[in-house]
Amino acid sequence: MARLRWQGWWDPFSSLRYMQREFERLLGRGFPFGESHAIGGGVYPPVNVFNGPNDILVQCEVAGVKPDDLDISITGETLMVKGVKKGHPDEEKLTFQRRERGMGEFSRTIILPDKIDADRVEAKLNLGVLTVRLPKSEAARPRQIKVNA
């Protein structure tokens, strides 16, 4: 049976949150009346961090987000990915039968495992996946130590 997204960590409150959103919608609150949805149970975008010998790779899943709507910044050893996932244009004219994708602002802060060289960071958005490559600073790279006999 196909599973829904991001069930690697089990969220015990996801069904309650879903019910709360449905009630809010019935009562005329929540998106599009004011507050934005918490996308995916509140943790968005999902992130993978890979730590290599010379650089750190961070992958974020941001399908449907345009490159202009992303705001990526680095402060020290912290990477912050912020942005907004816009809804459908002309929403009022549409009748929704099913609405599973969330929209709204998102922000995720990732503490990097090592010191990086902020001037050489590259970010690419391809097929809805943002890949940020952060080269490590000289001091953080592994160095071989020769043993003197």
Residues in touch with other proteins (CB under 8 A): 2-6, 8-9, 43, 46-53, 56-57, 59, 61-68, 88, 93-101, 110, 113, 125-129
Other CB atoms within 10 Å distance of the CB of residue 128:
12
Element (H, E) at 59: strand 55-61
Nearest approach in angstroms of CB 70 to other proteins is 11
61 or 117: CB nearest other proteins? 61
CA proximity to 80, closest of 130, 38, 32, 127: 130
117 or 148: CB nearest other proteins? 117
| DSSP for residue 145 | -
Nearest approach in angstroms of CB 74 to other proteins is 17
Q: Over the range 21-44, which residues count as b (16 or more CB within 10 Å of their CB) and which as e?
A: beebeeeeebbeeeebbebbeeeb
Nearest approach in angstroms of CB 114 to other proteins is 10
93 or 148: CB nearest other proteins? 93
101 or 149: CB nearest other proteins? 101
Nearest approach in angstroms of CB 21 to other proteins is 14
Length of the chain in terms of residues written: 149
